[in-house]
Amino acid sequence: GHQEKLSATGIFAPTSNRYTTDVEGNPNGKPFHGDYFTYGAACSEVEVDILTGEIQTLRSDILFDVGKSINAGIDIGQIEGAFAWGIGYYLFEEPLMDSKGVDRTQGVWEYKPPMASEMPRELSVELVRDNPGPAPVGVLGSKAVAEPPFMLAYSIVGAVKKAIAAARKDAGASTVFDLPMPVTIDAIQRACAVTPSQMKC
C-alpha cells in the first residue's frame, strides 16, 4: 500500500589504523582504531571560595566538531552529557582505598555525578558546521560525539588551578602546587594556602 519507511539505519565501522602511527609512520596500536579525529574546544569561568574550597562554574562555552551533523539536537545533548560526565570525573568521583589497597568506594553507591547546582550556570554548545574532516568519515558525513567531549570538562579544572594560583600569590605562597585528581573541595581548600592569620579583622 501506501506505507513508507520513515527511519534509516546505518553502521560505521572503521577500516584503517590511519591515525594511530608512531613518529616514523608505522601502525601503532590495534588495527581499525579509527578513520578520523574529532576536535573540540572549551572555555570555563569559575568562582572559588578560598575558605571552603567550594567552586561555582559560572559559564562554560564549548565548540565541537561533529562532521556533518545528522541531528544537531541529539549531538548537542551528547556533548552536554559528556561534559557533565567529565565534571563528575574531574571534581567528585574519588576512589577510596583502605590501607591494604582494597577499594572501599562501594561501587555505584559512591558514584557522585554533578548535581544541577554543580553544573555551569550558563552552558553554551556550538557545533562546527559541515566539517567533513581530513579523511572519509562516518554515516552521512557525521563523526562520533558520545565520549570525545568528556575531556573538555578539564577546562573547569584549568580555571580552578588559575584561581588557586591567584589565591596563593595573594597569600604570599608559591604559585607552583600539587593538585590531586579528582579536584575535590577539600583538596582545593588546602591548595589555596589560606592560614588562620589571614582571617583577622
Residues marked active site are found at 147
Nearest to 177 by CA among 188, 154, 185: 188
On the question of a cis peptide bond just before residue 196, with omega within 30 degrees of 0, the verdict is no
Contacts of 128-131 spanning 24+ positions with Cβ under 8 A: 128/39, 128/63, 128/64, 128/65, 128/66, 129/69, 130/68, 131/65, 131/67, 131/68
Chain CA centroid to CA 131, Å: 22
| Angle (CA) 156 149 16, round 5° | 145
Q: Which residues pair with 48 in a beta bridge?
A: 55
